Chain A
Amino acid sequence: MAFVGSEPPAQPALGASAVKVLIAGGFGVGKTTMVGAVSEIAPLRTEEMISEISGKVDDLSGVENKTTTTVALDFGRITINESLILYLFGTPGQERFWFLWDELALGALGAVVLADTRRLDGCFAAVDFFERRQIPFVLAVNNFFGKQFYTADEVREATDLDSNTPILLCDVRQRESSKAVLATLLEHLIARISNPDAAASEAVGG
């Protein structure tokens, strides 16, 4: 039996369930590269049509102008075991649209915000998005061309992240480095459950 595309290494059972992690960050920061570094399949691209309420609302009629935008999404897959699949979704480059895509963030275990220290402000929108929705995340500073412009502490200061949110340096082209970023995220998620007080103060402080 021939299928289009690759087959997963471990065949998930019929009753398998899926979880997702989002990879967000500014344009060109390496989101799809990271998905590809750890995914068992070549990253796939899908599209969704998002309704956008335009800024112009007629106060008299109350009729909102709705336009539809097509947003692309790159994703990969890791079969954790026969009953669990992890999907990694690289959020689209056009942030102003993926913020409108509620379903993308809904139910996500957590997120990786990728930052490029040469253009640190590129990650601010994503940081803001996850903080507001109280979706736990780690900030991973992608080390392009082997040059590190700032330390993790300097990045924390610049982004005004609370002390509970992990910040780490990475090179998403390297599989081991991308794995380490995901493992740090999962450890962070587990720590939040193990120590709810810290998570609560994080929510209040954030």
Chain B
Amino acid sequence: MRHGRESWYDDEAGPLVRPYSVTRGRTRPDRYDLNIITLVSTTSKENLALEPEYVQILRLCRIPLSIAEVSAKLGLPIVVVKILVADLIEDGLLIFRSPDSPLNTETPDMKTLQAVLDGIRRL
């Protein structure tokens, strides 16, 4: 992802420089409870004057996508996508839905399991 600007750093600086410059050095994505399968959707169709990564996320998420999909499609690490998505949530441009009970692995609800099983059989 290049924006017509040459970087002063070389390859030896490692792969982390660009993502962290996108996130302006912030490393804590935990403003919201976002995880790899949190689904995010764009709330507005407006074209806003935002940095390219934000615009790309808003464009992708016109259909609900997981954090993992956004990460894969933008080629950015998950931790970086969480920060960018959190910014957009804060600005009211994205809404998100995390799994109902991410901590409760003991009792996934029967209705969900049956729906998944039916869905797999229908494939």
Minimum distance in angstroms from A201 CB to a CB of chain B: 15
Determine how close the nearest CB of chain A comes to the CB of B88; give it in whole angstroms.
Answer: 16
Most buried by A among B36, B71, B105: B36
Q: CB-defined interface of A133-163 with B at 8 Å, one 1/0 digit per residue?
A: 1110000000000000000000000000000
A23 to B73, CA, bound (A): 21
Interface range, A side: 35 or more
Question: Which A residues are CB-close (under 8 A) to B119?
Answer: 78-81, 84, 86
Known A-B contacts A44-B72, A47-B77, A80-B119; A189 and B108 likewise in contact (beta carbons under 8 Å) = yes
Main secondary structure of the interface of A (DSSP, over half): mixed
Pick from A7, A89, A182: contact of B120, CB below 8 A: A182
Q: Report chain A residues within 8 Å CB of B63.
A: 3, 7-8, 11-12
Whether the Cβ atoms of A179 and B77 lie closer than 8 Å is no
Query: B69 in the interface, Cβ–Cβ < 8 Å?
Result: yes
B108 touches A104 (CB 8 A): no
Of B2-10, B47-55, B92-100, the one contacting chain A is B92-100
Q: How far is the CB of A19 from chain B (nearest CB, A)?
A: 6
CA of A3 to CA of B10 in the docked complex: distance in angstroms?
33
A193 & B113 in contact (Cβ 8 Å cutoff): yes
In the bound complex, how far is the Cα of B107 from the Cα of A190, in angstroms? 10
Q: Are A84 and B115 in contact (CB under 8 A)?
A: yes
B39 at the interface (CB under 8 A from A): yes
Would you list which residues of chain A between 44 and 67 have a CB under 8 Å from chain B? 44-49
Residues of chain B with a CB closer than 8 A to A4's CB = 60, 73
A59 to chain B, nearest CB (A): 28
In the complex, A187 has a CB within 8 A of chain B: yes
Number of A-B contacts (CB under 8 A): 145
Q: Is B71 a contact partner of A46 (Cβ separation < 8 A)? A: yes
Write out, one digit per residue, whether chain B residues 110-123 have a CB within 8 A of any chain A CB (1) or not (0).
Answer: 10111111111101
Given A20-B37, A106-B102, A179-B121, are A46 and B112 also a contact pair (CB < 8 Å)?
no
Chain A nearest CB from B18 CB (Å) reads 13
Residues of B near A17 (CB, < 8 A) are: 39, 97, 99-100
The CA of A168 and the CA of B73, in the complex, are separated in Å by 34
Q: Please determine whether A108 and B110 come into contact, CB atoms closer than 8 angstroms.
A: no
List 23 A-B pairs, Cβ < 8 Å. Answer: A1-B62, A13-B64, A18-B38, A44-B69, A46-B77, A47-B77, A48-B79, A49-B16, A49-B77, A77-B66, A80-B116, A84-B115, A85-B64, A86-B116, A87-B36, A87-B68, A107-B104, A107-B105, A183-B117, A186-B113, A186-B116, A190-B110, A193-B107
Residues of A within 8 A of B (CB): 1, 3-5, 7-8, 11-20, 38, 44-49, 68, 70, 73, 75, 77-81, 84-87, 89, 103-104, 106-109, 133-135, 175, 179, 182-183, 186-187, 189-190, 193-194
Additional pairs, 12, CB under 8 Å, beyond known A1-B62, A18-B37: A3-B60, A4-B60, A11-B63, A18-B66, A19-B112, A20-B37, A47-B71, A85-B64, A109-B108, A183-B117, A190-B113, A193-B113
